[in-house]
Structure 1
Amino acid sequence: MERASGARHWRGSVKVQSRNGYLSLRWSFRRKRYQMALGNVRDTDLNQRMAQRMAQRIEDDITTGNFDPTLRKYRPNSDKGDGIATWRLMDKFQAWKARSIDDRTLEKYRVLGRRLQDYWGDRGAANITPQDARDFRDRVLRKHMRSERTINETTTLLSACWQWARRNGYELGDRNPWDDMRLRVPPSQGCRPFTLDEMQRILQGFENGSPKVRHYADFVKTWAFLGARTGEMRALRWRHITDESCSQIWIGETLDQSGNVKSTKNQKDSFVDLPEWLSQLLRDRRGEVFDKDDLIFQSPEGNAIEAGNFNNRIWRPLLKELGIKYRRPYNIRHTSISHNAEAGLSEADAAQLYRTSIPMIRRNYRGSITDRPVLKDWLNINETQD
């Protein structure tokens, strides 16, 4: 019996098929049919995701003109031992992580796997030395990434991949080539939170805007109070309201761009008490008859809010109209945390309510509004001149 998944009916579409419990790929390109076994790969959920990524890799190569008709580029190496290629190791690590990370992060893994393949081809992961790793960082990552911080995050990810592989029986030698790779990160001003005046103007802009802008007014008001991550806001459903009066909400899920519901970024949740104005706003939206599984905030078409469309078609044009310097919608979270910190919310309480950690609060939000140390004016120039 055969089952196919991920089929998209255009030229060059690659299908994952299962025969006798083992996975393979098949597709047609330029009037030629291809079929490729994936080796001793059984049909499991994990391997299905890995096979889908291989199918996507082939489709991408077809689209960009980089398809290898000999298929050598795509044939899997031995699962264990030193034969596994660097890109395939990353592919397996990505499949393992898929259930716990969001779509954007998965896309970073996929792009990184492609860069490993472009740079090293099928070179075995066990043969990568620390010098090889530094060369990859300096020749590839520096070319494609804008900041030292992003490069450090990527090499940390690669180090985690190698650690995971060792724990799972891959023979990669005694030393992780990605350790001790961190670059010195120069200080940066960072992205400033919105001031109270800017936030009030933004909320008024949503209230007084066109119908398509006004549609999102409640969404942005709620976001400004909760300071949730984008995916957390998109995932809010009526069942997350804990009582009839809408006085408290639970935040513990995120909705990715593919419509998959997952736990929050770091698997933390929180119950947040709501002020009366927000409780009333939610009661008015809910009405007397509602489905507890419905999303609280939806697009005008009744679907989940698509973050990119909201940013490009609603948020960015409104900020331009208001004369406010553009900062992405996610900055609402930064703004909420920063203003609460200024108002006296402790680091521990902020970490709990915003589902993050105290070190993150200290690094990214503490003193970002006005609560900063001030130099004493010891010169007293005006007094001296008088």
Structure 2
Amino acid sequence: MARAKKGTISVENFRGMLRLYLPRTWFNGKKKYFSLGLPDTPENRKIAEAKVGLMTADYIYERFDFTLEKYRLDTAPQEEKLSMLDIYSQYVDFKKHLVKPSSVHNFTTTLNKLKEMPDSVIKSPSNIRSWLVEHNTQEQARRVMQRLTTAYDWAIEQGITEEPNPFKKFKKIKKVSDPSPDPFTRNERDLIIETFEKINPHFANFVKFLFFTGCRPSEACGLRWENVDMTNGKLRFCEAVVMGKHQQGTKTLPSREFPINNQLREILESEAKKAENVFLSERGKPIDLHNFSQRKWKPLLNNLPIRYRGLYHCRHTFITLCLDSGISIRVLAKWVGNSPEIILRHYAGLSKTEVPEL
């Protein structure tokens, strides 16, 4: 279908029904659709064209009804109003080809929450908000409401539903501050490494690598030999394994370099080059973090005299110990792919630096 000239009304087919796409210039640059509530048939196309003629004439003679009530057809059947589940499903289909797998997972999680809601809840935005607050943590509810608001804005932009966005009238759920990092002590770190070497030596190098680089676990899983330069003493983090799939780039940067010291060189030289990835599962596949955490990491730590913390705390441990050792925040931020501000905000207070005697 040929694109309508700028400033003119065009007739469109949307899900088998006719609607008019009104000029943005008439509505301060915003997209505006007007549903006729008629199936797309040759006869109804004539009605649509007549409606276009009426609207155009009214606009020219400065009598256009911007509420659009004047142009509604009394005899036209009303389109069934889409539920938030319908809208969000279309939004997910649109976004899943544009974002990283980890983001797709978050969108899918929200979609599943909508599917869990009773029919009486899903039909009312206020009931949706109440249900989310009642059945989720404050932070989970906040994030879902944020995604629903964005999805509804998108639906308005696409002409899938009409303004206003009902989710914008609610008071925003307050963001919960991130808890302070909870690193392992140096002795706890060494005990974990020693136990892996004794009980599960296959994964010992993987665990040591996490503790001695402070990289995100997904980045360690995604590290390939082609990005390890032993000659020049550096490696490059430029991809990650998320939800079992390789994705380009790290969480915050396309790539970053990390220096290979003697400790790290020993780890890498002792790891056999059996595939593209440096660290592999016992079956020779890229490590699945969920399986590793549940089947290897958690059982091992539960049998040690150490308060349990997740795998990501290896990163917290590295950053904190580096600060204790006097590494500058600027250099450390570059190594781990954070900003100096994040390091200061979350980690500086955990350093065990003592007040000097002056």
Would you call these one fold, judging by a TM-score over 0.5? Answer: yes
Q: Give the whole-Å Cα distance in 2 for the aligned partners of 1:372 and 1:159.
A: 48
Runs of 5+ in structure 2 lacking a partner? 1-14, 17-78
Higher gyration radius (CA): 2
Give the drift of 1:278. Answer: 0.9
Shift of 1:335: 1.9
Q: How far apart are residue 372 of structure 1 and its match?
A: 9.6
* 2:96 aligns with one of 88, 98, 109: 98
Does the Cα contact within 8 Å between 2:181 and 2:347 map onto a contact in 1?
Answer: no
**Change beyond 3 A, Cα 1:237–1:246:** farther
Task: Structure 1 unaligned segments of length 5 or more: list them.
Answer: 1-38, 41-80, 374-386
Give the structure 1 partner of residue 256 of structure 2.
270
Q: Which residue of 1 aligns with 2:310?
A: 328
| Cα deviation, residue 329, structure 1 | 0.7
Residues 1:370 and 2:352 are matched in the alignment = yes
1:138 equivalent in alignment to 2:142: no
Q: 1:304 is matched with which residue: 280, 286, 289? A: 286
Q: Measure how far apart 1:275 and its partner are.
A: 0.9
1:299–1:117 Cα change, 3 Å: closer
Deviations 1:267-301 (A, max 9, x none): 54211112122123213325xxx57x611000111
Aligned to 2:300: 318
SS where residue 216 of structure 1 aligns? helix
Quick one: structure 1 residues 294 and 174, their matched pair in 2 at CA, closer, same or farther if it must change by over 3 Å?
same
Question: TM-score, normalization: structure 1?
Answer: 0.62
CA contact (8 A) 1:134 1:181 kept: no
Match of 1:152 in 2: 142
Q: Which whole-Å CA distance do the structure 1 matches of 2:157 and 2:321 have between them?
A: 43
Deviation at 1:172, TM superposition (A): 3.9
Contact 2:240 2:248 in 1 (8 A): yes
DSSP-derived class of the 1:222 partner: helix
Distance in 2 of aligned mates of 1:339 and 1:100: 38
Cα displacement (A) at 1:100: 5.9
Q: Is contact 1:247–1:276 with CA below 8 Å preserved after alignment?
A: no
Give the C-alpha shift of residue 330 in structure 1.
1.5
Residue in 2 that maps onto 1:354: 336
For 1:341, the equivalent position in structure 2 comes to 323
Please tell me whether residue 197 in structure 1 is matched to residue 184 in structure 2: no
* Cα shift at 1:154: 2.3
Root-mean-square deviation over aligned CA pairs: 3.4
| Partner AA of 2:286 in structure 1 | A
Q: What's the counterpart of residue 29 of structure 1? A: none
The amino acid that maps onto 1:227 is: G
Output the CA distance in 2 between the equivalents of 1:180 and 1:351.
Answer: 38
- Secondary structure in 2 matching 1:261: strand
Secondary structure of 2:297's aligned partner = helix
One-letter amino acid matched to 1:226: T
Taking structure 2 as the reference length, the TM-score comes to 0.66
Q: Do the aligned residues in 1 keep the contact of 2:244 with 2:288 (CA within 8 Å)?
A: no
* SS, match of residue 236 in structure 2: strand
How far 1:122 moved relative to its partner?
A: 11
Check conservation: 1:297, 1:305, Cα contact below 8 A: yes
> Hey, what's the Cα distance between the residues in 2 that align with 1:262 and 1:82?
42
What is the match of residue 237 of structure 1?
224
- SS across alignment from 1:249: strand
Q: For residues 156 and 90 of structure 1, what CA distance do their matches in structure 2 show?
A: 12
2 CA distance for matches of 1:134 and 1:214?
Answer: 53
Distance 1:267 1:179 in 2: 35
User: How far apart are 1:245 and its partner, in Å?
Assistant: 2.7
For residues 232 and 212 of structure 2, what CA distance do their matches in structure 1 show? 14
C-alpha change, 1:162 and 1:344, in structure 2 (3 Å) is farther
Match of 1:284 among 270, 285, 305: 270
1:155-180 superposed Cα distances (whole Å, 9 cap, x missing partner):
22223323444454544414462476
